Amino acid sequence: MSNIITVAAAQLGPIQKDEGRDVAVARMVRLLERAHQRGAQVVVFPELALTTFFPRWYHEDLNEVDHWYESELPSAATQPLFDAIKKLGLTVYLGYAELAFEADETGAVRKRRFNTSVVIAPSGEIIFKYRKVHMPGHVEYAPARKVQHLEKRYFEIGNLGFPVVRAPVGGTPVNMGMMLCNDRRWPESWRSMGLQQVELVMLGYNTPSLNMENKGFEAHHLRVFHSELSIQAGCYQNATFAVATAKAGNEDGHELFGHSVIVNPQGEVMARTTTWDDALAVADCDLEMCRLGRTTIFNFALHRRTEAYGRITEQTGSVEPPVWTSREGSL
């Protein structure tokens, strides 16, 4: 049995605010067909792949944004995607805004909103679901910002942890994990999945070309560097492959930087999209490559020291360190 699987990042160019799901879904079906032609078995779409990145638009009344959410999968609008998945025999990661009617922590069933991704099997079944944990942005309209980033308004914090599931791709079992966008910058996301022997992290993102908080200088080119740096370090330090797929280009006047990448367990970029349009990056991943890190430098059982990690789970924000003063007075 081969341990090589072929994976694709299926980047989407911009989806404008006034474009319907039919436009996005038709483009995604074409990408699935092209990925299949290139031998891909796993295809990863971006975060919020079916619509524009709507958290940049402020609405006081949350009910006004309901049309950007999916309350079922498949729906009439997304059925063509599921049909293509079944026809082509693909395993597909899909990011979307989820509207759920389910119990909250008080037990009350209510309308809940999550930034969600699923992995869909070649049978059309949902293998597993992830809800974004690291929610960037803010809740209220921020007058100082040129562009709003209202993810914290439009989505609750994900409540499914960082799940990893072992599922077959062709005849090969693969330990699959998911992230969404900002999760990739947080080593906690990667480590939570590394501790479950993840071999393939799938993640979609919508990342603007500038840090929009206007609190200091961050050059354009560093934005791409930071994205790749975080993904490469996450892969290396957890001995996993990753497929990271962007929504790219000028969406409603706002630039998203693209640069979808496939990264190996050594942290090397194997493939990268270099347009800001619908585009594929495809690579063969030998899952055997996950073994080296896992059995040597990053043999967690041998080398991790949880007794020294207390702050990571006991503390949310940072604290000031103690002050040292020379016995000899001022230095």
* Segment 268 to 307, residues that bind a copy of itself, using CB under 8 A: 268, 289, 291-292, 294-306
Q: Which stretch binds a copy of itself (CB under 8 A): 23-31, 70-78, 232-240, 252-260?
A: 232-240
Catalytic residue among 70, 98, 151, 181: 181
Binding test (CB under 8 A) with a copy of itself, winner from 111, 141, 222, 253? 222
Catalytic residue flag (residue 19): no
CA 296 to the chain's CA centroid: 28
By CB under 8 A, tell whether 127 contacts a copy of itself. Answer: yes
**Residue from the set 236, 241, 257, 276 that interacts with a copy of itself by CB under 8 A:** 236
Largest CA distance in the chain: 78
- Scanning the structure block, which residue is given the tokens 């909103």? 113
Asked if 23 touches a copy of itself (CB under 8 A), the answer is no
**65-84 positions binding a copy of itself, by CB under 8 A:** none
Active-site annotation holds for 47:
yes
CB of 17 to a copy of itself, least distance (A): 25
Residue 9 structure tokens? 């990042």
For the question of residue 290 being annotated catalytic, the response is: no
SS3 117: strand
Question: Using CB under 8 A as the criterion, what x/- string covers residues 129-168 for binding a copy of itself?
Answer: ----xxxx--------------------xx--xxxxxxxx
Nearest to 228 by CA among 278, 175, 274: 274
Q: Binders of a copy of itself among 174-213, rule CB under 8 A?
A: 175, 182, 185-188, 190-192, 194-198, 211, 213
Residue matched to tokens 């007075």: 329
**d(C-alpha 91, C-alpha 211), whole Å:** 33
**Of 77 and 212, which CB lies nearer to a copy of itself in the complex structure?**
212
- Counting other chains too, the contacts that 166-171 makes at CB distance below 8 Å and 24 or more residues apart are 167/91, 167/119, 167/121, 167/127, 167/128, 169/5, 169/41, 169/42, 169/91, 170/5, 170/41, 171/1, 171/2
The answer to whether residue 3 forms part of the interface with a copy of itself (CB under 8 A) is: no
CB 236, min distance to a copy of itself, A: 6
Tokens of 253: 């006047």
Residue closer to a copy of itself, measured from CB, 31 or 169: 169
Catalytic site residue from 70, 98, 132, 235: 132
Among 4, 62, 103, 312, binds a copy of itself (CB under 8 A): 312
Taking CA atoms, 249 is separated from 14, 25, 143, 174, 259, in Å, by 5, 18, 25, 32, 10
Tokens 């990863």 -> residue: 44
The catalytic residue positions are: 47, 132, 181
